[in-house]
Structure 1
Amino acid sequence: QQILFELKDHFHDNIPDKPTLLDLGTIFHLSGEYDRAIKYSQLLLEKLPPNHSKTPTLYNNIGSAHNSQGNYIEALNCYNKTLEIRSKYFPENDLSVAITYNNIGSIYNSQSNYAEALNYCNKALEIRLKLLPENHSSLGITYNNIGSIHKNQGNHVDALNCYDKALQIQLKSLPKNHPLLSTTYNNIGSIWNNQGNYVEALNYYNKTLEIDIKTLPESHPDIALAYNNIGSVHHNQGNYVQALNYYNKALQIQLKSLGENHSLLAITYNNIATVHKSQRNCIQALNYYNKARQILQKCLPENHSLLATTYNNIGLVENSLGNYDEALDYYNKTLEIRLKLLPENHSSFAITYNNIGLVYYSQGNYTQALNYYNKALQIQLKSLPKNHPYIAITYNNIGSIWNNQGNYVEALICYNKTLEIQLKSLHENHPDIAALYNNIGSVHHNEGNYVQALNYYNKALQIQLKSLGANHP
């Protein structure tokens, strides 16, 4: 009862004086208490006959709570039950069917099945465009979801286009502090962050935070997410003190609202660890990565994708410490999980192959390194758009091999392929472009072309001064 009184202060008219089990499930979902949301929805589901009008809504709500927890198989199961019931009793162009298509698409997006994700989200969009006014807020949700799929594929231009469509609709149809606007601002911020436009990223993330603080309880997980995102911008800018400050704010909220063993807590520990790794404080980084690992091993299945990511991160630190056998061990654990979860040409395998190649590169075993980099490249060319930033990373890695072996012609070919992609996919002052100019400069330096070398080093310096500041390491 006390929880309900506290929640009424934040959600006001959304909470009736005598809430039903359906209301309770919705209330706890809004407040980020997903286990309770599932509990109360499940209680009502067990009391109702299978063909009751509320049954598909309950399956949808349970699926949404599972989705928020990262339990994608359970979520997809619930959404498919919702779709099965609604398809029996509603026309194929009914808005409730569109909602379910949207939700199923979001699950496939989370599982990196982008073709299926786009298929379902476009079905939802088609129905909504037929039935709704052009500025209806539901269209904004669909454009956001489609934008998220494009973002995950590395299509930042298409993603930003969809997010902007969503924003224009929401600004016309919703109050200025509506949570859906918060989501869209966050999505746009993530594009600018990925492209290295950190001023714009912070602008949009701060808009998200401002809305969240006004509309949510102070310990809501979404506020922690906003702090995590702002922290990531400061991290990318090399403002490590500020980054840790925001990550620790996120951590304190999550410890209060989610407990010590929630998967979102592990993500924050991963973020804190990554800052320490950037500061070359590998022991602290390893400590936080292991905290993340221990939580995930307790709360997730042993083959969950978050565990694979954490094993990968630990492998990166072990490689930095020169513990090459341990690094390979963690990369192989990553590979083992992903082989069970993903198709053989999924882009995540390329990340792991790149990292394994990096271990061999660090050991001076360039033949083995090149073998793994080429494995990564073959997968990426099949699974990603041709200008995806990950392909640029792999070309850069291969170029480094050729540069170290004195094959400067091949090195420049690979570096220039990298540059071509980065100039199309990243903001012009992104630090990755500066790193690449340094690499191209090193080839010219090694060839004795000192004028050209200085030219590229100065290009790198100008970008770094703009994007990282004069005091970045």
Structure 2
Amino acid sequence: MRPPRPGSGGGGGWGAVRIAGRPRPDPGRPFPGPRAAPCRALRSTCARTRAAGGLGRSRAEGGGSRAGAQGAGCVERAASVRGLGGWRKERAGHAQWGGGGGDGRGRRGDCCLFAAGPTRRRRRRRSAGRQRRVQRPPHHARARLRAAAARRRGPGRGGCQTPRRGQGSGGGGGAMVVTSSARGGGGDRAPSRQRGCGLAPAGAAALLAGASCLCYGRSLQGEFVHDDVWAIVNNPDVRPGAPLRWGIFTNDFWGKGMAENTSHKSYRPLCVLTFKLNIFLTGMNPFYFHAVNVILHCLVTLVLMYTCDKTVFKNRGLAFVTALLFAVHPIHTEAVAGIVGRADVLACLLFLLAFLSYNRSVDQCCVGECFPPTASPFFLLLSLFLGTCAMLVKETGITVFGVCLVYDLFSLSHKQEKSSNGVIPHRSPQQPRSPQPSSLPAHPLRENGKQQRFPHKGAWGGCHSPLPPEPKSSGFPVSPRAVWSMMRYLTASSNRNFLLTMRPFLKRAILVISYVIVVLYFRLWMMGGSMPLFSEQDNPASFSPYILTRFLTYSYLLAFNVWLLLAPVTLCYDWQVGSIPLVETIWDVRNLATILLAVVMALLSLHCLAAFKRLEHKEVLVGLSFLVFPFIPASNLFFRVGFVVAERVLYMPSMGYCILFVHGLSKLCTWLHRCGAATLTASTVLLLLLFSWKTVKQNEIWLSRESLFRSGVQTLPHNAKVHYNYANFLKDQGRNREAVYHYRTAVRSQDKKEEAIILLKDSIKYGPEFADAYSSLASLLAEQERFKEAEDIYQAGIKNCPDSSDLHNNYGVFLVDTGSPEKAVAHYQQAIKLSPSHHVAMVNLGRLYRSLGDNSVAEEWYKRALQVARKAEILSPLGALYYNTGRYEEALQIYREAAALQPSQRELRLALAQVLAVMGQTKEAEKMTIHIVSEEAGCLECYRLLSAIYSKQELHDKALDAIDKALRLKPKDPKVISELFFTKGNQLREQNLLDKAFESYKAAVELNPDQAQAWMNMGGIQHIKGNYVSARAYYERALQLVPDSKLLQENLAKLDRLEKRLQEIRDKDHT
């Protein structure tokens, strides 16, 4: 096609408008219009109408902006038009602004096209060469254009207002009407935007929020289940009473220090702060925790629809369907119904906001040009900030920066096709390629549908040397198009101006990449330079010694995760320990799924490369980016993760799946007839209903721990871990907090314990390498005093799992409890040998030596454990050792450090107050104990300690009142009640209330006949009152309990002397 002639009404080429009664002209030749008319005739003709290249409003349709059309020194007034068209006008060899426009309605003008005669055409041909070399129009012409553009834009923001439906954004001369495809999703946003559905944005948002609440409303009745217990209830940074301190920013998600060897290394302080805020506002009520998760899921759904509407689809209906599919997908149940899944949901929300901010930072009015500049540094910095917040909520949030850069390079900085006249065509996806020149606007269109100000600066083609034309293609041979596009890209890259051209993008990329490097360095520094330690049962494939097994298994796991998105039929809260067997050979049939996934991903990638310089198929690019990038941290590609499959980590990648799925449906609709499209629509509605039903049913599973653990056994009966968890729930074994998985459960009856034994045996059968199952089963048998069976289970476990340090440690505890401490020493030492950082075994060994009376060796093991981890649970037994050996100063120092590490632990503060009281610092001890009582009014030990403190201060009334308060708590242990009555008797005795004291002592020995001190004090009272016979009886009863008591022997000797003296007095009286 020949270039347009300067001075023509539009810049889109000749023959863009059909003339009634005339044949369609040849697109390669100028339109054979009439000869030039006199100036007066021209003014008369243009006064009637001006078609501006064939598309525009007639005079009767109303006015728009004003455009000039002048020739041979005469000024004509164009009819009212909506846009500003071509800018060349010739007067005395001077290039000025002029042209015309159209409103983009696609209506044909009611007058014939104005054309100049041959003489004038020759003059225009001569001036065309000069005007093509003009890089910028004159200053006054630019000002005139800006004013016209401002009138055309109206009150929109920055000139980028979305045009009204049915109206174009400008561009005269072309006869094309750019519309959105009602079924296709490819390409850039068109100037005229179809809504695609009859819903207003507010109505669509209300429907999405309603669908989300209906699917997840049942979860509001749930309790703290599974990981919620350890992330919230037992987390020292979160649980009620724990002060808000900087430890939140130095500990991991579970409350452990990031530098500790046992830390999970999951640094999510912002998510922990939301838990803390929940407790501060509403307490430990799980209803409000679940409510926040549901609200966040609704927000993510709404922001996803907005994101798809603004950056992905041209059709708002497709964006709505994408968000609706995301709202009801069952794979999100764990992330929304499980409270700890808030990390994934909140990180996804910040992910989308960071992406939108980055997109907003790029000059939207220059999108479509070669590498548009940064229009708003504020939004770019905001994107960095939001991405960092997403990372501090969950680690996958940092992948948003990779998505932004890919979207910037392949979508915002794209290359549009140019016609031979230098104009960038903007086709509707429904419009086929045709030699008919009826679809060329006068000026290139930006991404938002507006005209570009300077056509020669609008695309890569204008920035580089001419490139070889791309071969025509109907869209199916993707690979040749991709290769050809890359060849053109590399050819352009060799241009010496290429780096200068892409400087705006390079600035953004360098800033983002540098910032990501700094953030990652900070993240590694927080981890102490070490990766988390996982066991083989967490991720068996990563421990395989064979590279082929690891590669095949990791590849199959990718296909398995995609299958969970496509068909979420089998869902489980835990996929560890044998749920997915390793792929060890290339002949495994599961490799077919891996190959299929590789082929599909390769085709989609080549499809993106084939169209990466044009406004085509952004849906595939964004969908792949959203699907792949957030999943990279969980893919085992760069580091080992602590799970095989986790449904919650698919929350963010599912956005990409939803985009690709809906885009595929829209493309399929374009290939089907009307009947087939209706069937496909009905199938989609049915799929959404099935997904909603599955989501509601999954919410019922997450209501309680029992339903959750039972569902795991029913769904994956060969998973040893789910058998273990359900057995723990049934038997309520009261496991130590330092155990590997730390599961505390409740049990109600003996029958459930028997069921737990059966399940644990099944767990051992399905997973013979599962050491925790042996420990749990043996502990349960020991609770039932089936010690022989328990010992056999421990020995079988050590035989099958000889490298399990925990199993050796637990067997040592069992041997100590059954009276074999000498054998326990060997197993404790073996546990330490297998795991030199096993501080639990070191503490147990120290306790064993202390029970044997070897305090010096016990102290050495305690100090060695402190070298591994300086924890409160290690400091506490060392402080008790110092206290019991009379080293109060050292005990005070140790307890102060332990209380500083865990200020919310009542036992440590109570022990510290006890040491202070013994050392005579009664005021500080009293203040600390009263503070503990104010936090927990039912603290029995606090009242006992207060009684001792007041007794030391000789405040016997207060001491007696504290004991009475302790007795009103009604403790269940008879020995504890006996101790309280004994203490009360002492206080009454100090007040010389001997009769009441005797009654208290008597109540004490009735509850605990072995209370030797009470018997002795009762004898002392009777001794004082002169009842020597009763006193002797009480003394002798106490002496039976403590035969070596010197005090009793002295009291009996005194009693003997008194009785002897009394007998002598009686004998004298008789004589």
**TM-score of the pair, normalised by structure 2:** 0.26
> 2:813: which partner in 1?
232
Q: In 2, are the aligned partners of 1:139 and 1:166 still within 8 Å (CA)?
A: no
State which drifts further: 143-152 or 244-253. Answer: 143-152
**Which residue of structure 1 aligns with residue 726 of structure 2?**
143
Amino acid at match of 1:208: Y
Does the CA-based 8 Å contact 1:160-1:191 persist in structure 2?
A: no
Query: Paired residue for 2:1015?
Result: 444
Give the 3-state SS of the residue equivalent to 2:776 in structure 1: helix
Q: What residue number does 1:243 align with?
A: 824
State the AA in 2 paired with 1:447. Answer: M
Task: Give deviations 1:140-165, integer Å, cap 9, x for gaps.
Answer: 23323425877259988549765532
Residues 92, 126 of structure 1: alpha-carbon distance in 2 compared, 3 angstrom cutoff:
farther
Q: CA RMSD in A?
A: 5.7
TM-score (norm 1): 0.53
Matched, 1:187 2:743: no
Alignment of 1:273-292 (within 5 A): 273-292=846-865
Counterpart amino acid of 1:244?
Answer: V
2:808 and 2:835 mapped to 1: Cα distance? Answer: 11
CA contact (8 A) 2:1001 2:1018 kept: no
Change (3 A) 1:79 1:139: closer
Q: Is the 8 A contact 2:731 2:747 kept in 1?
A: no
Report what 1:19 is aligned to: 549
Q: Would you say 1:121 and 2:705 are equivalent positions?
A: yes
Q: Which residue of 1 aligns with 2:893?
A: 329
- Which residue identity lines up with residue 839 of structure 2 in the other structure? A
Q: What displacement does 1:207 show? A: 0.5
1:82 counterpart letter in structure 2: V
Which whole-Å CA distance do the structure 2 matches of 1:58 and 1:122 have between them? Answer: 35
**In the alignment, which of 317, 324, 331 is matched to residue 881 of structure 2?**
317
Change (3 A) 1:253 1:51: closer
What is the aligned counterpart of 1:208 among 768, 788, 794?
794
Q: Deviations over 1:400-439 (max 9, x none)?
A: 75466555766787899xx8xxxxxxxxxxxxxxxx764x
- SS in structure 2 of the partner of residue 175 of structure 1: helix
Per-residue CA deviations over 1:202-260 (Å, capped at 9, x if unaligned) read 6425403313422x3x3x2x2x22222222233345543222222122222224xxxxx
Output the CA distance in 1 between the equivalents of 2:755 and 2:639: 26
1:301 maps to none
Q: Superposition pairs for residues 33-182 of structure 1, below 5 Å?
A: 49-50=628-629, 55=634, 62-63=641-642, 81-82=648-649, 84=651, 91-92=694-695, 121-125=705-709, 127-128=711-712, 132=715, 140-147=723-730, 151=734, 158=748, 164-171=754-761, 175=765, 178-180=768-770
CA shift, 1:325, in A, is 2.4
With over 3 angstroms needed to count, the CA separation of the structure-2 counterparts of 1:144 and 1:393, relative to structure 1, is farther
3-state DSSP class of the match of 2:641?
helix
Shift of 1:316: 0.7
Specify the code of the residue in structure 2 equivalent to 1:190: S
Contact 2:772 2:807 in 1 (8 A): no
Structure with more of its chain in helix, by fraction: 1
Cα deviation for residue 315 of structure 1 reads 0.6
Relative distance call for 1:456 and 1:249 in structure 2 (3 A) is farther
Is the 8 Å Cα contact of residues 86 and 96 (structure 1) preserved in structure 2? no
Which of 356, 361, 367 is the matching residue for 2:912?
356
- Partner of 1:318, secondary structure, is helix
How many aligned residue pairs are there? 342
Partner Cα separation in structure 1 for residue 696 and residue 831 of structure 2? 41
Change (3 A) 1:150 1:275: closer
Partner of 1:293: 866
Distance in 1, matches of 2:745 and 2:1018, equals 36
Q: Gaps (5+ residues) in structure 2?
A: 1-535, 558-575, 578-626, 658-690, 737-743, 941-968, 990-996, 1020-1032, 1043-1071
Distance in 2 between residues matched to 1:93 and 1:21, nearest whole Å = 36
Shift of 1:173: 7.4
Q: Distance in 1 between matches of 2:761 and 2:787?
A: 19
Structure 1 pair 164/282, CA: closer, same or farther in 2 (3 Å)? same
**Quick check: 1:93–1:127 contact (8 Å CA) kept in 2?**
no
Matches within 5 A, 1:258-407: 262=837, 265-297=838-870, 307-339=871-903, 344=904, 348-349=905-906, 351-356=907-912, 358-359=914-915, 372=929, 375=932, 379=936, 381=938, 401-402=983-984, 405=987
The residue type equivalent to 2:912 in the other structure is I
The percentage of aligned residue pairs carrying the same residue is 13
Q: Which amino acid in the other structure matches residue 444 of structure 1?
A: W
Q: For residues 355 and 398 of structure 1, do their structure 2 counterparts lie closer, same or farther at Cα, with a shift above 3 Å needed?
A: farther
Give the secondary-structure state (helix, strand or coil) at the position aligned to 1:20. Answer: helix
Q: CA distance change for structure 1 residues 147 and 126 in 2, over 3 Å: closer, same or farther?
A: closer
SS in 2 for 1:49: helix
Does the Cα contact within 8 Å between 1:140 and 1:165 map onto a contact in 2? no
Q: Is the 8 A contact 1:59 1:82 kept in 2?
A: no
Cα deviation per residue 1:180-199 (whole Å; 9 max; x = unaligned)?
Answer: 5x534422443566x6x7x6
Residues 334/321 of structure 1: CA separation in 2 closer, same or farther (3 Å cut) = same
Whole-Å separation in 1 of the counterparts to 2:930 and 2:1002? 17
Could you say what secondary structure the match of 1:327 adopts?
Answer: helix
Q: Aligned in 2, Cα 1:136/1:163: closer, same or farther, shift over 3 Å?
A: farther
User: In the aligned structure 2, how far is the partner of 1:377 from the partner of 1:192?
Assistant: 41
**Distance (Å, rounded) in 1 between the aligned partners of 2:748 and 2:725:** 14
Deviations 1:48-74 (A, max 9, x none): 924659948999973459xxxxxxxxx
Distance 2:761 2:1039 in 1: 46
Distance (Å, rounded) in 1 between the aligned partners of 2:842 and 2:1038: 40
* Distance (whole Å) between structure 2 residues aligned to residue 144 and residue 362 of structure 1: 45
- Output the CA distance in 1 between the equivalents of 2:830 and 2:917: 38
**SS of residue matched to 1:151:** coil
Q: Deviations over 1:287-342 (max 9, x none)?
A: 11111001114xxxxxxxxx011111111111122111221222222222222xxx
- CA 371–455 in structure 1, closer or farther in 2 if over 3 Å, else same: farther
Which amino acid in 2 is paired with 1:313?
P
Q: 1:291 is aligned with what amino acid? A: R
In the aligned structure 1, how far is the partner of 2:928 from the partner of 2:1040? 29
Task: Confirm or deny: 8 A CA contact 2:982 2:1001 kept in the other structure.
Answer: yes
Between the aligned partners of 1:21 and 1:296, the Cα distance in structure 2 is 36
